Structure 1
Amino acid sequence: MPHQVLEPVRPEVSPVAGRIGAVVTRVRLSGDLPERVVAELGRALLRHRVLFFRDQHHLDAAGQARFARRLGEPAACCGHGRADAWHTDGTFAERPPKAMLMRAIEVPRHGGDTVWANTAAAYEDLPAELRELADRLWVLHGHGDARAEHPLVRVHPETGERAILLGGFARSIVGLSSRADSGALIRLFQEHVTRLENTVRWRWAPGDVAVCDNRATQHRVVQDFGGRPRLLWRVAVGGDVPVPVPVDGRSGAARPPAAGG
């Protein structure tokens, strides 16, 4: 009887919501995954922005870090500030993380979900006049003593899509002297990001792992669990300097001078 070559099991990817999020099954996450599987997961992450894996109870901190290294170079995990405010991780750094991996260790019996938003879909939904304005704006982000200026719209380095770069670390529009005007613009664009159509909500169970593309998402915890325990272990994958949208034939939108400068 001839030897039968079995086809390797492929990950199964099932969308959760219309614009963001997918559950991946038939994968046991580890640093030893075949390159083919890692590549498939990478493509799924670019398409769905955040991937969810159930029942990864075998992972510990070291195993989670080894799997993260298959996605890129590890990076220092940036502080949240208030995790119950919408944010993209590490926007106060020159190079925000490329991806974030969260592993549920202990979760409340009820509540404590995390919600993600698709910032590329939010940009696509903007009226043309607002897109043209957004393409030219720069934003100061800050957390503690850390500060960084980034374009309000970044070009995704792998897909070429445009995504809104804001969130809870955004402090002001560069070049605007009026705090009221600056805050109004930030709220305007931020509200487009967090429209329900752009979001997915995940109910955690111990052993769950979520991997999100930090270059095209925001997220926040739903603070509805009081003092009950909620422990998620996070690992960051290093990213790059956000690239602005080309404007008027230039390689990127020019950074405006600081107010009063």
Structure 2
Amino acid sequence: MASSATEILNVVPLNPTIGGEVTDLDLRKPLDEETSAALRSALLERKVLFLKGQHLDVAEFERLGAVFGDLFIHPTMPQLPESPYINPVATEHGPAKDWHIGGPWRTSPFVAELLQLKVTPPAGGDTMWADLQAAYRALSEPMRRLFDELTAVYLGDPAQYSPTTRANAGERLEVEHPLVISHPETGERGLYYSTSAVRITGLNELEEATIRRLLLEHATQARFTVRYRWQPGDIAVWDNRAVWHSAVDDYGDAPRLGWHSSVVTDWRPGSATAGI
């Protein structure tokens, strides 16, 4: 992390390469530009930031999201009446339990995402993140060369992912992203793949199944992951260009309620355009 960030923020690492708890920062107060820049720097370094017990209101949550880019109005997720940028998270919606990146249906996927839980279950309900840059570095050189050449195809319409609506099969849209990217802010190479991919370009059925299984088993090793146990008011912010995330489906019908927002810029996978 840059020296300016460490001078302003106290960030406690939760894993050697991923996850950091930011302490002694009250997000209910407006952040000056120096502190905002330090948060962005800390996110690039730790990939996921956790801020405990913040209990933000709508305006404060929006203000935090704007630190990292432009807030995004999701076309299919539910929205708060007070804000089109905030998506309520509720038990009945079901957990996003598959390992995924946010917004791969866009040519410019999400650069960051935020989640604040307001109500947490008495047991379970954790979220996990995996460091795709560390996972890429740990691959053998031949496997890195292979993944460098591959691309994955995703459905290009968010309605095709919605649990309540489906796009007309005759109008199916697709978007393609590389399986490895260079982070536009740090230059760090990392895997870039979501389990929602409909195919990996150019592979036959057996090859694709093998690559998918390898990606999942390799990148979710304990050494690459951080698992967070929520308390009410906690906030997580993650760099969607560097990590996977997955909700642990182990809390049954217990309440798990919160707010989610997505952040976008003009960045595209495989390009070097600006990000957070």
Pairing of 1:134-213 with structure 2 (within 5 A): 134-142=147-155, 144=160, 145=167, 147-176=174-203, 178-213=204-239
CA RMSD of aligned residues (A): 2.0
Structure 1 pair 30–72 and aligned structure 2 pair: CA distance change class (3 A): farther
Aligned position for 1:88: 101
> 5 Å matches for 1:12-161?
12-30=10-28, 32-57=30-55, 59-77=56-74, 83-142=96-155, 144=160, 145=167, 147-161=174-188
* Rg (Cα) greater in structure: 1
Q: Is 179-188 or 99-108 further displaced after alignment?
A: 179-188
SS at match of 1:170: coil
1:128 alignment partner AA: E
Tell me the distance in 2 between the aligned counterparts of 1:72 and 1:16: 25
Give runs of ≥4 in structure 1 deviating > 4 Å. Answer: 78-82
Name the count of aligned residue pairs. 235
Alignment check: 8 A CA contact 2:95 2:248 kept: no
Using a 3 Å threshold, how does the CA distance of structure 1 residues 31 and 69 change in structure 2: closer, same or farther? farther
Deviations 1:150-185 (A, max 9, x none): 000011100001111112212211123x22322221
Q: 2:249 aligns with which of 205, 211, 223?
A: 223
Aligned twin of 1:258: none
C-alpha deviation, 1:31, in angstroms: 7.3
Contact 1:138 1:151 (8 Å CA) reproduced: yes
- TM normalised by structure 2 equals 0.80
Deviation at 1:188? 1.4
Structure 2 residues without counterparts, runs of 5 or longer: 1-6, 78-92, 161-166, 168-172
Mapped to 1, the partners of 2:152 and 2:46 lie a distance apart of 26
Contact preservation (8 Å) 2:95, 2:249:
no
198-207 vs 139-148, which deviates more? 139-148
Identity %: 40
Whole-Å separation in 1 of the counterparts to 2:216 and 2:53: 34
| Residues in 1 aligned to 2:245 and 2:188: alpha-carbon distance in whole angstroms | 19
Gap runs ≥5 in structure 1: 1-8, 246-261
TM-score scaled by length of structure 1: 0.84
Q: After alignment, is 227-236 or 167-176 more displaced?
A: 167-176
For the 8 Å contact 2:95–2:247, the answer to whether it is kept is no
Counterpart contact for 1:20–1:200, Cα < 8 Å:
yes
